[in-house]
Amino acid sequence: MNLPAPRLAVRAVIRDADRVLVVNAFPDPARDLWCLPGGGVEAGSSLSDNLRREVAEETGLTIAPGPICHVGEFHDPDSGFHQVELVFHATVTGGVLDPTWRDPTGVVHARRFVTAEELSGLRFKPDALPDLAFGTPPRIIPAALVRMVR
């Protein structure tokens, strides 16, 4: 079977006091799975630039990406979809969550800050999200985007 290469995605752990930002990133509002804001990486842009773009699209917030704190991977053997996610800590540098904000790509239909207790009552991915948001995960410092030399 000829499978496509894994999709690379970036996501952000964004804290506000004792809460973390989660989004419902499914076109069907009836889906109840929450995740960190972010999405697919576009070639030619740094991981940090991709993260800033994705978070702005999904939330209207401007962020400063921090260190990578998690690398996750998942795939759907039935469809062949395979994704590798790099999760960064990030801080908000501008904007507020506006309930009238609409994701221009139409993927995210809900966003909210939740406490650890509220998160425990939701279905979410990745499974490590509580530790990433409220624990002290190991820090992985990302390298800058480097142009390949031939």
pLDDT, mean over the chain = 86
pLDDT in tens, 56-102: 999 999 999 999 998 888 877 787 888 889 999 999 999 999 888 88
CA angle 124, 129, 91 (to 5 degrees): 115
Going by their DSSP bridges, the two strands 7-16 and 81-94 should be labelled as parallel
The pairing of beta strand 123-124 with beta strand 110-114: unpaired
N- to C-terminal Cα separation, the chain:
32
CA distances from residue 105 to 11, 54, 65, 113 in whole angstroms, order as listed: 16, 10, 22, 21
Domains of the chain: 7-134 (3.90.79.10)
Residue 147 has pLDDT above 60, yes or no: no
The whole-model pTM stands at 0.87
pLDDT band at residue 1 under the 50/70/90 scheme: low
Q: Are 48 and 41 in contact (CB under 8 A)?
A: no
Measured at the CA of 46, the angle between CA 104 and CA 15, to 5 degrees, comes to 65
